[in-house]
Structure 1
């Protein structure tokens, strides 16, 4: 077993002030292609696996029965920022099911969209569950629950929705999950290894919406939806949206809390997963950008890449006091 390796460093005064360590894996349909650290490190994927959680929605026929399009599927995979674009589309989705915001079980979360936050403050409005970054995923859960004629407590690990999610998750990762934690949105989040998560991403990388079995077609539709609608997967200024735009729809990426990030590259058939041990978002964003550059999918000179890989550290007077970089030997 190998320990975590240095992935991202922060420099100040000519010294390494901080170092973020982690694990990463790249898989294709045949298995592990490359790894840094310990690919068998056990992790909770958090929101990075939302496309896997959405597979039963599509594969079961629930998405088609409800008339869902690519925007709905992108939102089912999203950690959106609660902008009007996101809130309005999820509200309309629920309305089409004859449901409303009160049927969600994700909890209230303030909008992360600055303009919308300021508008709501001026108008005296309060956030609701539609603003929760997981409201699209939960709308997908509700759609599947309706299709299965199951009860309203769709986040219960014993509920048919979550039993379907777990079975699909274990099949996609290629291994039984040893357990789960409860995510910020109250849904169970099943554990796997870094390599298992990369293997699941390789399933999406190999999938096509019009070929293969039901699982492959479902994964292909979700992959295509994410790459077609990067604005719905996250939002303006967010790493997922900016990096997918930079790669012009050829690659999908997805963040997860506590330093998890994944990507899948349909043109190469590669799935990528990484975990920063200390949970730092800044390091996960830098590391995934570095791996995408390493794989030839992302131009290192693109502003979205430079913003996350080699950004200067400025103090409150605008003086450059340090820099962030990929650790030597990583990617």
Structure 2
């Protein structure tokens, strides 16, 4: 097994202070590796990076059509949102449409990352609800699918029909049998796969518009929703949102906890998956931006690209004292 390779460097002054190593894979629409760093067969938990795969059964089952879900709902089903009002208001309305409430979620409460939402809770002397959980859109999708299936309320259990549908979608898209699963931060199962398999799945999404089967049509809808509503997929100042905006629909990207990132590039018919070995988000943000630049879908001079590829290291007083940037072996950029 290949070892992780240097992907991101952290400089302070003239000294290289830290290095983040990792693995990354680019696959084409035939499932072949175009380029890789480290070990393409490394098995990881993709975490939230594969929410678009978990969203496939929501559409292929007919649940999305039955309940009149639009692109904003599908974007939220793929989201790790910041808990801003634009996210939580929509999720609450979605629950109302289902005749359900916050107590029907199984994701757990979370303090919103969005500052305005967080401060509003403090001023109102209120505690966070499950709707504030960054995965509440995905869980609203799970509840929709469960209701459509006539399945029970414990939709995060591994043997629940919702999770079995998600596992089947994951294994079909990756072309692999998942060797194991772990419980994600939102209490749902997260199926493990190789980086190659996950990149292959993203390439399958990238070429979906050339096919007419039900799953491929669902993949097209999910990609379109993500790129039409990047603000719903993450939130302001977040890498997913800012980089998708910068690319103007040329790619859909999604982060996952512990240093995971994926990308779908339809014009290039490519899929990307990366994992930073130490789980650092600052490194996965930088690495995905560098790969997107190398693949020609992100302008290296765009402010969003510079924000993540040349991120300043600042002192407590705000003085720039260093920089976070791609390692020389990651990309020509």
**Fold shared, TM-score > 0.5 on shorter chain:** yes
Q: Secondary structure at the match of 1:125?
A: coil
* Alignment of 1:11 onto 2:11: yes
Runs of 4+ in 1 over 3 A off after TM superposition: none
How do 1:95-106 residues align onto structure 2 when only pairs under 5 Å count? Answer: 95-106=96-107
How many angstroms apart in 1 are the aligned matches of 2:127 and 2:2? Answer: 48
Aligned to 2:87: 86
Aligned to 2:75: 74
How many angstroms apart in 1 are the aligned matches of 2:177 and 2:318? Answer: 50
How many angstroms apart in 2 are the aligned matches of 1:43 and 1:114? Answer: 31
Q: Unpaired runs of 5+ in structure 1?
A: none
How do 1:100-119 residues align onto structure 2 when only pairs under 5 Å count? Answer: 100-119=101-120
Deviation at 1:135, TM superposition (A): 0.3
Aligned to 2:177: 176
Deviations 1:90-137 (A, max 9, x none): 111111111111101000001111011112211222210000000000
Aligned to 1:277: 277
Deviation at 1:211, TM superposition (A): 4.8
How do 1:302-321 residues align onto structure 2 when only pairs under 5 Å count? Answer: 302-321=302-321
How many angstroms apart in 2 are the aligned matches of 1:63 and 1:51? Answer: 14
How many angstroms apart in 2 are the aligned matches of 1:299 and 1:148? Answer: 44
Q: RMSD of the alignment, in Å?
A: 1.0
Aligned to 2:300: 300
Aligned to 1:56: 57
Aligned to 2:29: 29
Deviation at 1:318, TM superposition (A): 3.0
How many angstroms apart in 2 are the aligned matches of 1:203 and 1:170? Answer: 12
Aligned to 1:159: 160
Q: Secondary structure at the match of 2:126?
A: coil
How many angstroms apart in 1 are the aligned matches of 2:238 and 2:189? Answer: 25
Q: Secondary structure at the match of 1:152?
A: coil
Q: Unpaired runs of 5+ in structure 2?
A: none
How many angstroms apart in 2 are the aligned matches of 1:263 and 1:211? Answer: 20
Aligned to 2:239: 239
How many angstroms apart in 2 are the aligned matches of 1:55 and 1:301? Answer: 35
User: What TM-score comes out, normalization by structure 2 length?
Assistant: 0.97
Q: Secondary structure at the match of 2:220?
A: helix
Deviation at 1:13, TM superposition (A): 3.6
How many angstroms apart in 1 are the aligned matches of 2:113 and 2:14? Answer: 35
Q: Secondary structure at the match of 1:162?
A: helix
Aligned to 2:224: 224
How many angstroms apart in 2 are the aligned matches of 1:130 and 1:13? Answer: 43
How many angstroms apart in 2 are the aligned matches of 1:255 and 1:319? Answer: 29
Deviation at 1:317, TM superposition (A): 2.8
Deviations 1:146-180 (A, max 9, x none): 11111000000000010111011011001100000
* Alignment of 1:147 onto 2:156: no
* Alignment of 1:325 onto 2:316: no
Deviation at 1:279, TM superposition (A): 0.1
How many angstroms apart in 2 are the aligned matches of 1:223 and 1:114? Answer: 28
Q: Secondary structure at the match of 1:284?
A: helix
* Alignment of 1:290 onto 2:290: yes
Q: Secondary structure at the match of 2:80?
A: coil
Deviations 1:42-93 (A, max 9, x none): 1000000100011111111111011111110000000001111100101111
How many angstroms apart in 2 are the aligned matches of 1:240 and 1:155? Answer: 26
Deviations 1:222-270 (A, max 9, x none): 0100000001000111110000000012211100000000010111111
